Every structure is written in C-alpha cells, then in structure tokens.
Amino acid sequence: MAFDTPISLVGPRRAPAQMLAEQDIGGQTSVHDGDTADKLGLVGAPIEGPTHFSQFDPLGVCLWGQRWFEDGCISSHFLNMVVEGEEVRPALTPSTAAAATIGAEKADGTPVLTGTASVGRDDVTDLDERRKRGQGDPGELHIIDQISVGMDTLQGREPHVVTMGFDEHNGPLYPFTLQQKLDMITEPCSWYNADGDSPWGTPIVPTEMLSVLAHKHGPHLPVRRPSVGLFIDLEVRYVNGPVFVGRSYQLDHQVVGIGQSRRVESWWTETTLTDIETGLHAATVLLHQGVFKASFADYPADAGRETG
C-alpha cells in the first residue's frame, strides 16, 4: 500500500443503560448504586464496563466478518467511568490484517477505555504486559490478603455448569435476563435473536454478556467485606466460538495475578468456558477487578487509604 496512514472504523455515539443499580454482592450494594458511588466521591453510579464491548462488535464484524465471534479477542483497560446519560463513541484502528487498537471516548473527548482487538492466536493483547505486573510482589495487602496466585476461585467446589437463556435469571450480581439486556443493548443484532438469522443456525450471546456468564455464580474468594469493587481491565477471547444462547458451559476459574495501586487492591481471574456438548474450549474471560481501599472501614490509616 502506498500510504501508511492509519484509518479508523468509528461507530456512532451511544448512551448505554445502567442495569446494575440493584446488584447485590453478598448482601451489600455495589459501586453501581447511586448512594454507594456518592460515598466514594464518584460523580455518579457508573455503567458496567463490559457494556462498552457491544459497541465494538459491529466494528469487529465489519473488519473480520463472522470470524469475530469465532476466534476474535477484545482486550481493554478502563480509564474513566461512564454514568447513565453520557454518550460514548468507539473507534477501531487496524494495525495488521489480524489486529487493531481500540479506544472509546465520551462526547467531550474524555477517554473511556483503550485496548486491542484481534482475530486468531498469534496476537499480543493490551493486557499481556499489565497482567505480568500482577505476578510480582503486591506488597502488604489488607482486603485481599487471603487471595493468592494460582488459587482456584471455586475453593474446592465442583465446577460450575451454566447456561444463558433468554429469560433465565443471571443471579444477584447481574439482576437482569439476556432478553432484558437485548431490549436495552446499544447495538441490536439479528444474530442475537431467537427468530434471527445467525449464520451458525442458533442465536449467539453478545460479547459483553460473556463476562456475565463467566461470573454468573458470584465470587468465591476470601475478600474482606464490606468493601466496594470495580472492574479495571477485561479481556474476552473466543477460542472455538461463538458462545450460544441456551448451551451449557463448564466454568473453570483461577487467580492469575494480584496487585494494588494508591486507591485499590486488585486481583486477576481467568475463566475458561468449555462447551459441554462438544467438549471444546469455547472462550476465555480475563478479568482484573479491585476493591476501593476507602470502602473498607478497617483499612489501616497508615497504609495509604484514600477517602476521596
């Protein structure tokens, strides 16, 4: 090609809906509750980060076709929270035939997330280096001090087998059904619908809902409570996709990193989704989540807890 000018695919501005206001984490509210967000000094209750992934699905399909849902990967670091009513615009800039950088910003230019998108197995994702940093010494911890790298988040329980039906409840962490999400999703797609035209012959689960499926049964790690959490990084990788509505998947979880910053203690969890019907590894969800130090009343004052 004569030019090396980067050309971006840019989606329309969308205002994603807040659907976690009633989220219940072991009997306590979450950062998505308005009063809880206010106590932490946030401007409002944030939209759940995975919601933004739906705005990239049309861009991925535009660039790579249905392969996006078969062996595509979106890898993202969340930069700034979005509250309901704010608009977000996604952009995808190809760097090779199989890889691209991604970003999203609010209407005023405030960055929402940055990351990578790709297809195939040879990519280096946005979270590769960030995840490596979570494998070093995290220093002294006070909220997640009982968590260790390599820990099975099921804590000896039998592996979970989950499905995502249209009208199936997704548990207290995600108090909405797939159909309710599809009624509010920023980018409707006929491939998601029961009476749609999915090229695989059956409706598929949107990318943003794979993190819901992966964490449908809630946390089983010894995080000290009450404390309020947030998503920091998220990667969804299709291996032998898509993930299908109504299909059964076995979940296997493992802690793959631990760390902390000035305001947050955090851990990385890798979840493998195995298709029960075929025995194939369908997808992997890598989640970096944290807890605000300021939300834990017993956090030592001399350990750098911030209250604002």
CB 76 within 8 A of CB 234: yes
List CB contacts of 203: < 8 A, sequence separation 6 or more: 191, 192, 193, 194, 196, 244, 245, 246
The 3-class secondary structure across 230-249, one letter per residue, is EEEEEEEEECCCCCECCCCE
- Tokens 């970003």 belong to which residue? 103
- Give φ, ψ of 290 to 5 degrees: -145, 175
Q: Give the model's pLDDT for residue 36.
A: 64
Q: Give the model's pLDDT for residue 307.
A: 39
CB 249 within 8 A of CB 213: yes
Which parts of the chain register pLDDT below 50? 306-308
For the chain, report the end-to-end CA distance as a whole number of angstroms: 51
Q: Give the model's pLDDT for residue 299.
A: 86
pTM attached to this predicted model: 0.91
DSSP state of 159: P
Concatenated DSSP letters for 233-298? EEEEEESS--PBTT--EEEEEEEEEEEE-SSEEEEEEEEEEEETTT--EEEEEEEEEEEEGGG-TT
- Give φ, ψ of 187 to 5 degrees: -125, 85
Q: Give the model's pLDDT for residue 301.
A: 77
DSSP state of 53: G
CB 47 within 8 A of CB 84: yes
